[in-house]
């Protein structure tokens, strides 16, 4: 498992703010700078938010190079259109950006998101109530969180491909072009979605750039997008996926019965919901949408605009929700004809590395770990460079740390050494007279 967080070692001060913010305890501070345990990182971006020194960044591609190289075939993330002073209608944005050498794949995005929503609705309707609720695949961070911490829920992930990738495949099959595709990503999770896809062969998208960089270039070049023109087709249902609840709303429009859906955003809400789902709550719910960022993808760390403003903008522009029978037929035929919407392979679980490959050895190490943990101060101060005393005890049995890494244990050690020295100093040779003090 790869991740898309870049560390600037010169800026990292070795403070412990980021290790505390990580929901999967994936970060350690060793020798004054941080390391990320690749297998545990879910790319939620919490550490970037916690770092005051901006020592953490996104490991995306070089936008300057891509932009100056020629025509950019770009898949806009749904968050893209609300990042400027006003909401950019996708069609208007496409027209305006075509002069700048960017070809926004708006039609393919619309088709792909419609197809994903249509496929999801069909799968939900065909599932028996025992297998509901199903979980959205849209947020890659949520998928990684489930792989790591909620493996029981893997069977509930809806087998629908991420629509951003469906859009890329639709474009390839329509144009037969081999030109590289670029995704404008709002978060590290979507970068990793492309770089290290789960449950599929390499992604059909080649380059990924943080939306922030694209927006800055465009703003600096003074691009103007004509305001809403009534004659423009309002085909941008897909842009609502940037807000919490957008996906569930879209899916509900394609369902033949009324669906009971839940949509939550933010890391804490996501973890709470998955825990409750694992306990078998939510009977009667058909579908859950989780996003690890607050307010949905607008809260992503690579989105430059205030999430509150972009959220407000998206909510206040209207799109056409009623579907013509022709459109529904078109989607039904795409659903039957192509299998582009379907995930290729089941998503595997990614549980923590066992303490040892041998069970007896692992059990004895676990016992050792508990004994070490019992001796710890249990205040999770982070001064040892680990997020908690428990993580520290685990690192020690994995031979990745010493007990003296703990400042409290070190102090205890020094104090007992000092006592020993004192008692040695007080022991006098028999040939000397006892001092009379």
Partner 1 sequence: MLGLSSSVCRRAAIITYEAEMNLVIHGGGGKIIANIDQDSVEIMTVDQGPGIPDVGLAIKEGYTTASDHAREMGFGAGMGLPNIKRNADVFEIDTEVGVGTTVRTVIYFQSGQ
Listing DSSP states for 217-271 in one string gives HHHHTT-------TTS----GGGGGGSTTHHHHHHHHH-SSPPPEEEEESHHHHH
When binding is defined by CB under 8 A, the residue of 37, 285, 366, 410 that contacts partner 1 is 366
Contacting range for partner 1; rule: CB under 8 A; set: 192-200, 291-299, 339-347, 350-358: 350-358
HSE (side-chain half, CA atoms, 13 Å) at 162: 27
Cis preceding linkage at 223, omega within 30: no
Contacting range for partner 1; rule: CB under 8 A; set: 282-290, 299-307, 361-369, 379-387: 361-369
Query: 10 or 357, CB closer to partner 1?
Result: 357
Query: Per CB under 8 A, does 39 bind partner 1?
Result: no
Query: Per CB under 8 A, does 371 bind partner 1?
Result: no
Least gap, CB of 277 to partner 1 (angstroms): 14
- Distance from C-alpha of 173 to C-alpha of 279, rounded to nearest angstrom: 43
When binding is defined by CB under 8 A, the residue of 47, 210, 271, 355 that contacts partner 1 is 355
Query: 33 or 356, CB closer to partner 1?
Result: 356
Listing DSSP states for 341-393 in one string gives TB-SSPPPP-PPPPS-SSHHHHHHHHHHHHHHHHTS--S---TTSSSSHHHHH
Least gap, CB of 44 to partner 1 (angstroms): 21
- Distance from C-alpha of 206 to C-alpha of 194, rounded to nearest angstrom: 8
- Distance from C-alpha of 134 to C-alpha of 161, rounded to nearest angstrom: 14
- Distance from C-alpha of 101 to C-alpha of 68, rounded to nearest angstrom: 9
Least gap, CB of 153 to partner 1 (angstroms): 10
Near partner 1 in 135-154, by CB under 8 A: 151-152
SS3 181: strand
Query: Per CB under 8 A, does 414 bind partner 1?
Result: no
Least gap, CB of 368 to partner 1 (angstroms): 12
Least gap, CB of 145 to partner 1 (angstroms): 14
Query: Per CB under 8 A, does 362 bind partner 1?
Result: yes
Query: Per CB under 8 A, does 14 bind partner 1?
Result: no
- Distance from C-alpha of 264 to C-alpha of 283, rounded to nearest angstrom: 17
Query: 366 or 383, CB closer to partner 1?
Result: 366
Query: Per CB under 8 A, does 357 bind partner 1?
Result: yes
φ, ψ dihedrals at 380, nearest 5°: 45, 50
The residues of the shown chain that bind partner 1, judged by CB under 8 A, are 151-152, 349, 351-352, 354-360, 362-363, 366, 369, 394
């Amino acid at each position: 498992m790869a991740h898309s967080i870049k560390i600037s070692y010169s800026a990292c001060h070795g403070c412990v703010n980021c290790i505390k913010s990580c929901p999967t305890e994936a970060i350690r501070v060793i020798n004054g700078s941080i390391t990320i345990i690749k297998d545990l990182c879910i790319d939620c971006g919490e550490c970037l938010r916690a770092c005051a020194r901006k020592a953490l960044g996104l490991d995306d591609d070089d936008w300057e190079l891509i932009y100056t190289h020629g025509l950019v075939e770009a898949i806009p993330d749904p968050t893209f259109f609300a990042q400027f002073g006003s909401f950019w209608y996708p069609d208007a944005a496409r027209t305006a950006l075509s002069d700048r050498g960017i070809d926004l794949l708006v039609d393919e995005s619309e088709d792909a998101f419609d197809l994903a929503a249509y496929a999801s609705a069909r799968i939900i309707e065909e599932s028996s109530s025992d297998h509901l609720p199903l979980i959205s695949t849209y947020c890659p961070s949520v998928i990684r969180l489930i792989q790591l911490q909620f493996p029981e829920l893997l069977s509930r992930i809806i087998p629908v491909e991420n629509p951003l990738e469906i859009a890329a495949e639709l474009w390839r099959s329509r144009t037969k072009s081999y030109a590289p595709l670029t995704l404008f990503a709002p978060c590290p999770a979507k970068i990793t979605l492309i770089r290290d896809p789960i449950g599929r062969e390499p992604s059909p998208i080649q380059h990924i750039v943080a939306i922030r960089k694209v927006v800055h270039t465009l703003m600096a070049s003074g691009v103007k997008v004509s305001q809403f023109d009534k004659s423009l087709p309002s085909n941008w249902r897909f842009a609502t996926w940037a807000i919490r609840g957008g996906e569930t709303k879209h899916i509900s429009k394609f369902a033949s019965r009324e669906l009971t859906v839940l949509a939550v955003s933010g890391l804490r809400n996501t973890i709470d919901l998955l825990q409750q789902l694992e306990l078998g709550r939510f009977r009667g719910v058909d579908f859950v949408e989780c996003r690890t960022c607050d307010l949905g993808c607008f809260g992503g760390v690579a989105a430059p605009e205030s999430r509150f403003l972009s959220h407000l903008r998206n909510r206040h522009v209207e799109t056409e929700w009623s579907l013509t029978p022709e459109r529904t037929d078109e989607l039904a035929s795409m659903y039957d004809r192509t299998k582009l919407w379907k995930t290729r392979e089941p998503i595997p679980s990614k549980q923590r590395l066992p303490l040892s490959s041998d069970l007896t050895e692992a059990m004895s190490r676990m016992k050792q770990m508990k004994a070490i943990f019992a001796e710890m101060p249990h205040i999770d101060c982070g001064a040892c460079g680990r997020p908690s005393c428990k993580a520290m005890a685990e690192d020690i049995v994995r031979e990745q740390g010493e007990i003296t890494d703990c400042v409290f244990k070190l102090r205890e050690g020094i104090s007992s050494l000092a006592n020993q020295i004192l008692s040695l100093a007080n022991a006098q040779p028999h040939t000397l007279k006892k001092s009379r003090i």
